[in-house]
Chains A and B, each alone.
Chain A
Amino acid sequence: MSNPLVEVKDLKKYFHIKNEGATETVSLLKAVDGVSFDVFEGEILGIVGESGCGKSTLGKTVLNLYEPTAGEVLYRSRSVYAKNTQELKEQTKNMQMIFQDPYSSLNPRKKVAKIIGQSLDIHSIGTSQERSERIEHLMQEVGLNPLFRGRYPHQFSGGQRQRIGIARALALQPEFVVCDEAVSALDVSVQAQILNLLLDLQEKHNLTYMFIAHDLAVVEFISTRILVMYLGRVVEIARKEDLVARHVHPYTKALFIASPITSPDQRKGEKHIFQGDVPSPINPPTGCHFHPRCPYAIEQCRKEYPPMKEVAPGHFAACWVV
């Protein structure tokens, strides 16, 4: 495998939550709690997990949109944090983000050309003529008619808006793009178009994606490697083929079992559905966070969080019983 483009080392992001009440107390929400992994050049690393597992926070912290509580993220072996403004500005050229909601992530008062071209303005790239050409080129590339450059976001459909968001993210020719639930707000037929577009662009520009989604089927389709999160921690990480063939962690198993079937022929009399709710990340269970829902839990699981074990080459899982 090639060199790591991004190295995430024991990254933590805690939020302080104020509890309103007679006595004001503060509890700690450990959204990302000691996460380590590498992202290699040219790969699509899928991050999957349910709501509240910290996957979006992870994406934003890696991009330095959130300041980390502890830990380090290296981009091409250099820290993404602790930089002066000029260095930060340089960094954003390489690292960009595509957001989930194509409605709230575009400024409704700005025309499309302005939205896509804003980063070119900020970095003073090219002459205004060159910028304008670049914007038209970007619009074409993501499948938007450049004639619509003077329109406002509300004049576009959800899928088209997501294309605007993608064009904006690519304007500075980044190497690394975090796609945060980039297709989950879209209808299935549009979702398929956008997934294809993301793959086309990745190939063409040799991009590296960190693709965050709650939908296992989407992650399974697009990723080359998959990382599974549960309550702020990585529970399993492996190459896609390895993870699909053999999911080791009980939570990964639960995700695969719960994943909707694709044909009525697959209906089974008895499914082994995992019971119980996702606990609150404010007060996660002791030991392994998954133990209250886990049918395989042993005494040790209640006491101590399991370390990452390499179960096969390049395939890691954090579980006491594997």
Chain B
Amino acid sequence: MLKKLLISIIVLYFLVLIQGSFLVHFLFWGRVLNLTLILIIFWNLLENPKKYFGLYLAFIGGFFLDIFSNHFIGFNILILLGLAFFMKLIFRRYVEIPFFEKS
């Protein structure tokens, strides 16, 4: 778990840096691609809804986005955590995927 968390911290740190310094040169419909958000959405989409790692990812990703953006520290954390919570809730209550039941 700790190893997984450490790898996530490093990956998310670099993703935010790439987003802020590399991808700003490539706009998609006038916007910069938010890789952190995409990663968190995909992770929470594919993770077993009973597991919590997606929430940790949302917290770490939000923290790094806050550091490299002009918002107060906690702004992106709240948004990403809220999104991850919402996804978990929807998947737990309304979506049943047999694959997750086995794992």
- Indicate, yes or no, whether A interacts with B: no
Identify the B interface with A (CB < 8 A). none
What is the interface of chain A, defined by CB distance below 8 A to chain B?
none
